[in-house]
């Protein structure tokens, strides 16, 4: 049996950093939305855990491999899996590609080797693998608290079209978080859409991002902001035509950047083959 699954990206509509925790993580309060920009993963039984990824410069162990091993430890008799990842989500852009891949692998490996884990067990595995992984087990518009593992679904229908502008650089998440200083920000419920406490730290580390930020900020959009720790920026529009018009202008202004027009999703991943039952 072989499972194919789309792993969707996310954008942070609001990101507040509340404090640095004693365990080294940061306490956050964030509103996120999954979007239809996606990686395509194929997962099938194999010996050991093998990951083929078209990114050749991943630092450390791939989150997809960590996720597979975490599920396999709970599946007596399962030998392993082969995972093939075709990247559609830019890396180092604050779009959660690695975490989304990990959540998709958790779901696929669980389906390959019954009996299925409970929702509570899946969430526990996801939390152990990474702070952003749990949100992709749900998808849609969500509020994330704690270090990302406390998830609440927001029922409001997501109707925006999103323009994404991805500069030709990768943001170092750990470095941006370390640059953050307490004393700014607050609860997500007190902030407007587009607020991000990591914007100033990211711009101070990567001053070349200022031009991209200004370009998105001056668009005639519903709201705009930076996703995660960067380096991508987004703007929300009421309809796809408006987003596509703005995208064309940004492609001319920033020919080396990637520009996408995306729609919101109600799921963090979508099994497209082999997932029946």
Q: Where are the domains of the chain?
A: 1-277
Q: What is the DSSP string of 103-151?
A: HHHHHHHHHHSSSPPPHHHHHHHHHHH-TTHHHHHH-SEEEEEETTTEE
Q: Which pLDDT score, from 0 to 100, does residue 159 have?
A: 84
Tokens 């640095």 map to which residue? 20
Low-confidence stretches of the chain (pLDDT beneath 70): 55-61, 157, 184-191, 276-277
pLDDT at 157: 67
- Can you give the pLDDT at residue 187? 61
pLDDT at 88: 97
The CATH number given to 1-277 is 3.30.230.10
Q: Which residues are catalytic?
A: 10, 132
Say what the pLDDT of residue 23 is: 83
How far does Cα 274 stand from its chain's mean position? 24
Mind listing the pLDDT tens digit for each residue in 91-106? 999 999 999 999 999 9
DSSP 264: B
pLDDT (tens digit per residue) in 1-40: 899 999 999 999 999 999 888 887 889 999 999 999 999 9
Q: In angstroms, what CA-CA distances link 259 with 143, 173, 233, 235, 274?
A: 26, 21, 10, 11, 32
């Amino acid at each position: 049996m072989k499972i194919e699954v789309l792993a969707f990206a996310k954008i942070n509509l609001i990101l507040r950093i509340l404090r640095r925790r004693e365990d080294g993580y940061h306490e956050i309060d964030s509103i996120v939305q999954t979007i239809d920009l996606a990686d395509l993963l194929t997962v099938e039984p194999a010996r050991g855990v093998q990951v083929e990824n078209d990114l050749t410069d991943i630092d450390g162990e791939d989150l997809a491999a960590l996720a597979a091993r975490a599920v396999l430890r709970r599946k007596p008799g399962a030998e392993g899996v082969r995972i093939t990842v075709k990247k559609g989500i830019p890396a180092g852009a604050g779009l959660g590609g690695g975490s989304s891949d990990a959540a998709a692998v958790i779901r696929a490996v669980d389906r390959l080797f019954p009996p299925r884990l409970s929702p509570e067990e899946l969430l526990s595995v996801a939390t152990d693998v990474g702070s952003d992984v749990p949100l992709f087990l749900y998808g849609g518009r969500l509020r994330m608290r704690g270090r990302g593992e406390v998830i609440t679904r927001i029922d409001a229908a997501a109707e925006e079209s999103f323009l994404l502008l991805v500069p030709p650089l990768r943001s170092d998440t750990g470095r941006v978080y370390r640059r953050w200083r307490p004393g700014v920000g607050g609860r997500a419920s007190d902030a407007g859409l587009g607020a991000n406490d990591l914007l100033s730290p990211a711009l101070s580390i990567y001053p070349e991002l200022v031009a991209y930020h200004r370009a998105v900020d001056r668009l005639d959009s519903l709201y705009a902001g930076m996703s995660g720790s960067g380096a991508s920026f987004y703007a929300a529009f009421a309809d796809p035509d408006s987003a596509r018009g703005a995208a064309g202008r940004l492609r001319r202004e920033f020919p080396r950047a990637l520009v996408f027009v995306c729609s919101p999703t109600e799921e963090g991943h979508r099994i497209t083959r082999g997932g029946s039952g």
